[in-house]
Amino acid sequence: MHFICARCRLGCAQELLLSCPSENNDWVIEERMKDVMFKVAIAGVSAALGLTAVALDAAQAATFDLTGAKSIKSTFDLRSDEIDLTVTGFSTNPLPTGVKRTPSGMGVISVLDNSSKIDGKGAKDALNLMFSHTVELVSATFGAVDNKDEFTLFVDDFLVLFDEDIPSSKTYTFLPDLLGEKFSFAALEQNDNFYLKTVEVAKVDVPESALMLGLGAVAVGIVAQKKSQKEVA
């Protein structure tokens, strides 16, 4: 059973969800997504994606390789097909946080933290990808994954995917028109630990109003679906 704070129900900043108190606090409630909520949310997703799809000026996909020789920096700057990417780390650990690059991909490292992966043991980690343009997130490949690992995704600080299983292929292909400038891959559960190996994106040109509507609806629809599935399980 998974719990999510009431403030996070329709999407929220990553700092809030990653540091969300335990279920014993009176502002934390158990998510119970009903079929009617899911159907309404999906209708909103369809309408929003219809708006954003009209506005897209699609470009050829660009792949960012996050692997490399072992090194630690506060930020990594990459470029592919005229798209710039800045990678930073976030952790609920209040001590200084950086990014570690390895042959398996990039992870988050902080003082007194023995793990260089994106992990949820103790402090919750997130790897932040900030692009120079609005892009469509096409796919992500993970490194050093086991069969229990899940990831959570924020898009421009909105919760979009919650505790999503990483496929056995280690490559996750996202639904079309997942647009934003900032994508944060987080680990929330104790046994989640992985690297982010590659990301594939496509540069797009979309009005801000359509983007926000699309993100809001996608957040409601996908989170509703995931919570409903977890409830049944």
Q: For residue 114, what pLDDT is reported?
A: 78
Q: For residue 39, what pLDDT is reported?
A: 41
Contact present, 41 and 217 (Cβ < 8 Å): yes
Residue 156's H or E segment, with its range, is: none
Q: For residue 18, what pLDDT is reported?
A: 55
Largest distance between two CA atoms of the chain = 50
Q: Structure pTM?
A: 0.71
Domain boundaries, the chain: 62-211
Q: Give average pLDDT by consecutive 10-residue segment, the chain, 233 residues.
A: 36 50 38 39 46 49 96 96 95 91 96 87 94 96 93 97 96 95 96 97 72 58 57 56
The residue type of 193 is N
Q: For residue 11, what pLDDT is reported?
A: 41
Arch. (CATH architecture) of 62-211: Sandwich (2.60)
